[in-house]
Structures are given as structure tokens and as C-alpha cells.
């Protein structure tokens, strides 16, 4: 695996998706912080986000998230041949009406009327359809879905593995997709998502997440000025701070922050490496250069860590939120020195004892017994590197 490639069993695809196309894409419109819930544990692995190019006066990329079913893995030759003829049909120079007739005929050959074009929609290289109940059993009979890829933000997605499409009904599939508890059978109705079958042969685009190739930290300065308008109540005491970094696999880690009995967790992705930002954020807190805020791109959602000053320079407001939809995860008044010291100590502990360069830096993990690239870069910051010692110690 090259240093630019990231293994994914779920998440936002950043490379060109040619190796996965043409495909049927059972997906939800849009992308939220709940999209990949339980995926890291394997419970709902196989959910991938793919962008669809949009036209009109303001062209862009619309996000979708769901299951990718490449046609080349269809086990029914007649079905596969009919569907593989659709890209030529949608690219033909015929008028819209003729193209719609041709595409629907091919869909009927494949699925016998269980997959329909939407009224008024122009079938292109990334078009939505309407399913009938009989479609899902047909997919279960003949199709597989993508569960493992190598992703390269500067290149192409490489398909590593597929799994048999095992859902027997649409209801069973959407219950899995929405994370319905198998014991209680419940889910928040406001968060229920449906699935639309897209037929995709091209027209895909890079989802507009924050540029992962940036170098240096991206500190933000929120405009809130609490001391101008508010003072801390006399009965407000400083909350004890807890910070924990946790190493995961395949280019992922986690950050857990707690205040007393409240906690918040964030996913850290090596595609959008947050460690430069985190080091700079901790340093600014320690030095009292406030307010300061960073955004952590979780590949599909954004966590925001903000520290705001109060009228007492020794005490600050720590706030952790998640954007889109806006969600307050954690908020409390803490001692500035305790927050900075706890954060730095845990960051050093993580890199000394737990950080796994094989899962974060890929093949460029450790050269000649020295530090991995990520740690080499972070050690350039004296706030982080002081008293770190020589060499990197793997757990």
C-alpha cells in the first residue's frame, strides 16, 4: 500500500471511483454525522459516501451515502448484460423521450419491472430510480456490495473485496441502514432514512471536504466575547477535565473529552489529519491566546473544539459541538492550566505508547528505528516536543 492510499471499509471516497463503476448504488441523499454510526465496529461496514456532480447555474457535488453494487460482480449474466448496456443508452444522442424508453427497457430486462425511472428525470450517468418490493430479493439472488477498498485522494479507488448482498426485503435493509436495535426494534423516527437506487456509470465528483493536503495548523478565532457581556456566577466551579486518545485501525483514531460525568467522542481520520491542529490548539490554550477553535473533519461530519475566555484569565469555557446538524456535545467551565496540561500529557502519552504508524502513516511508518512521519512533523513544535525524549516507542 502506498503512502497516499488509505484502506476503507466505510467512509467518504476521495479517489476516482472508476473501478467501482458501473454500479447500482443503494443510497440516501446527503451526508450527516450519523451516516457512519457503528461502521467502525463492523456492525454497518460497507457504507460509502460518493459525490454526484450537479449542473445548473451553480454546479457542485451532491453527497450520497449507501451500498455500492458493482455490475461486474453480478452473478446473473443476462441481468449484468442488460445493465451494462445502460451507460451507452444514457450517452446516446437520441432525444430525452427515446433515451428514457431505451433505459427503461433495459431496466425491465434486468429486473422485470421492479426498478422504474422517475417521472420527468433525465437518465444520465448518475440517475435515481424508484424501486418496487421485488427488487431487493433479486439483488440478494445475484449481487454483491463493496466492503473493502484502497482509497487514494490523488488517484483512484482500488477495490479489495465485496460481500454477498444478504438482505431479503427493503424493510430489512433500511432497518440495518438506520441502525435499528435488534432487541428493542426502535429508532428515532425523526432520524429515519430511506434508500434510493441510483444507476451510476460516471458523473461522480470529490465530496467537498476540507483539503487533506494542507500543511500547518488551521486555527480559527471565534468572534464571541463572553467577558464583554457576562461574568461567571459565584457558584460555578471548575469541571474536572479528562482527555483520551485512542488508536484505531486503517487510518483512524479517536479523541474522547470528558467534563465531570459528561463526555464527547470524535473520529480522527488520517485523510484529514488533525494532529497539527490539535497541537496548535493545545499550545494556544496553554499560552492563553484565546479564543481559539479548530474543526476536525470526521469524513462526513465536522467536530468543533472551541475554548473561549472568561473574565478570569485562569478559567475558560470549553465547548465541543458537531456541525450539520448543529449539535452541542459538551460544554463547561474549566481551569485553563488543567485543560492545557491534561491535553498535552495525553497527547504525549498517545504518541509514546499507543500511536500505531502502520495504521496511520502506512508503509512510511518508521525508518531505521526513528520516528514515523507524523511524529517527526509534530516534534517541530517545541510545546509538544519538550521532554518527549528520543525515539518513538511502539506499544
Can you give the residue ranges of every domain in the chain?
Answer: 5-205, 226-385
Torsion of the alpha carbons at 153, 210, 289 and 344, rounded to the nearest 10: -40
Residue 393 has pLDDT above 70, yes or no: no
Q: Determine the straight-line distance between the first and last CA of the chain, rounded to whole angstroms.
A: 22
The percentage of residues in the chain with a pLDDT greater than 70, rounded to a whole number, is: 85
> Which range, of 53-57, 244-248, 291-295, averages the lowest pLDDT?
53-57
Distance CA 195, CA 209 (A): 23
| C-alpha cell recorded at residue 245 | 486518545
Query: What pLDDT digit, counting tens, does each position of 111-148 carry?
Result: 999 999 998 888 999 999 999 989 999 999 999 999 99
pLDDT given for residue 54 in this prediction: 83
pLDDT over 80 (residue 170):
yes
pLDDT of res. 58: 61
What does the alpha-carbon distance between residue 233 and residue 226 come to, in Å, rounded to a whole number?
13
Range with lowest mean pLDDT among 73-82, 135-144, 154-163, 183-192:
183-192
For the chain, helix (H) and strand (E) counts, in that order, are 11, 18
Cβ atoms < 10 Å from Cβ of 313? 11
Q: Is the dihedral of CA 295, 300, 301, 303 positive or negative?
A: negative
In this predicted structure, the answer to whether residue 38 has a pLDDT above a threshold of 80 is: no
Whether cis (ω within 30° of 0) applies to the bond prior to 9 is no
Task: Give the pLDDT confidence score for residue 362 in this predicted structure.
Answer: 66
Note the maximum CA span of the chain: 76
Helices 135-142 and 170-177, packing angle to 10 deg: 80
Q: Indicate the average pLDDT of the chain.
A: 86
Q: Which three cell numbers stand for residue 54?
A: 450537479
Q: In what side-by-side order are the strands of the sheet with 5-8?
A: 5-8, 144-152, 158-164
How is residue 209 annotated by DSSP? P
Across 112-126, 201-215, 234-248, 300-314, least confident range: 201-215
> Given pLDDT bands bounded at 50, 70 and 90, which one contains residue 208?
low
pLDDT tens track for 264-293: 999 998 878 899 999 999 999 999 989 999
Q: Which residue has the higher pLDDT, 270 or 196?
A: 196
Contacts of residue 203, defined as CB under 8 A and 6 or more positions apart, other chains included, come to 52, 53, 124, 125, 126
Over 50: is that where the pLDDT of 110 sits? yes
- For residue 204, which of 31, 35, 14 has the smallest C-alpha distance? 14
- What integer pLDDT is reported at residue 33 of this predicted model? 54
pLDDT of residue 261: 85
Is 22 in contact with 59 (CB distance < 8 Å)?
no
* 226-385: CATH topology: Transcriptional Co-activator pc4; Chain A (2.30.31)
Q: Are strands 48-54 and 11-12 parallel, antiparallel or unpaired?
A: parallel
Name residue 25's beta-bridge partners: 68, 198
- Percent of the chain that is helix, strand, coil (3-state, to 5): 25, 30, 40
DSSP string, 230-293: ----TT--PPPEEEEEEE-SSSEEEEEEEETTEEEEEEEESTT--HHHHHHHHHHHHHT--SEE
- CA 22/CA 50 separation, integer angstroms: 13
Are 240 and 259 spatial neighbours (Cβ–Cβ below 8 Å)?
Answer: yes
CB-based contact 250:360 (threshold 8 Å): no
Least confident range from 117-126, 249-258, 302-311, 360-369: namely 360-369
Mean pLDDT, rounded, for 166-190: 77
How much is the pLDDT for 213?
A: 35
Amino acid at each position: 500500500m502506498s503512502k497516499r492510499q488509505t484502506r476503507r471499509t466505510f467512509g467518504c471516497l476521495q479517489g476516482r471511483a472508476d473501478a467501482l463503476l458501473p454500479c447500482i448504488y443503494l443510497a440516501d441523499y446527503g451526508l450527516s454525522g450519523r451516516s457512519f454510526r457503528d461502521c467502525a465496529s463492523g456492525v454497518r461496514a460497507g457504507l460509502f459516501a460518493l459525490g454526484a456532480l450537479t449542473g445548473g447555474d451553480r454546479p457542485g457535488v451532491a453527497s450520497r451515502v449507501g451500498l455500492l453494487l458493482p455490475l461486474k460482480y453480478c452473478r446473473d449474466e443476462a441481468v449484468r448484460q442488460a445493465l451494462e448496456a445502460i451507460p451507452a443508452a444514457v450517452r446516446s444522442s437520441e432525444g430525452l423521450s427515446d433515451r428514457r424508453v431505451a433505459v427503461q427497457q433495459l431496466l425491465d430486462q434486468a429486473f422485470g419491472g421492479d426498478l422504474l425511472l422517475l417521472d420527468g428525470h433525465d437518465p444520465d450517468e448518475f440517475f435515481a430510480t424508484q424501486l418496487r418490493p421485488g427488487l431487493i430479493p433479486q439483488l440478494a439472488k445475484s449481487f454483491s456490495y463493496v466492503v473493502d477498498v484502497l482509497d487514494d485522494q490523488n488517484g483512484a479507488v482500488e477495490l479489495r473485496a465485496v460481500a454477498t448482498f444478504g438482505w431479503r426485503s427493503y424493510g430489512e435493509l433500511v432497518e440495518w441502514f438506520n441502525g435499528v436495535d435488534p432487541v428493542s426494534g426502535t429508532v428515532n423516527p425523526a432520524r429515519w432514512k430511506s434508500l434510493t437506487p441510483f444507476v451510476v456509470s460516471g458523473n461522480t465528483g470529490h465530496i467537498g471536504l476540507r483539503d487533506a493536503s494542507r500543511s500547518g495548523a488551521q486555527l480559527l478565532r471565534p468572534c464571541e466575547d463572553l467577558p464583554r457581556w457576562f461574568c461567571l456566577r459565584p457558584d460555578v466551579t471548575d469541571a474536572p477535565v479528562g482527555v483520551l486518545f485512542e488508536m484505531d485501525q486503517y487510518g483512524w483514531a479517536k479523541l474522547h473529552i470528558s467534563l465531570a460525568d459528561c463526555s464527547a467522542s470524535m473520529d480522527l481520520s488520517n485523510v484529514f489529519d488533525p494532529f497539527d491542529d490539535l497541537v496548535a490548539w493545545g499550545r494556544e490554550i496553554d499560552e492563553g491566546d484565546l479564543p481559539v477553535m479548530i474543526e476536525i473533519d470526521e469524513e462526513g461530519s465536522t467536530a468543533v473544539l472551541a475554548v473561549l475566555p472568561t473574565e478570569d484569565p485562569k478559567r475558560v469555557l470549553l465547548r465541543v459541538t458537531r456541525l450539520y446538524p448543529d449539535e452541542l456535545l459538551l460544554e463547561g467551565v474549566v481551569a485553563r492550566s488543567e485543560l492545557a496540561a491534561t491535553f498535552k500529557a495525553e497527547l504525549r502519552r498517545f504518541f509514546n505508547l499507543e500511536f500505531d504508524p502502520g495504521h496511520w502513516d502506512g508503509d512510511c511508518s518508521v525508518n531505521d528505528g526513528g520516528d514515523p512521519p507524523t511524529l517527526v512533523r509534530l516534534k517541530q513544535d517545541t510545546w509538544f516536543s519538550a521532554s518527549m525524549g528520543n525515539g518513538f516507542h511502539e506499544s
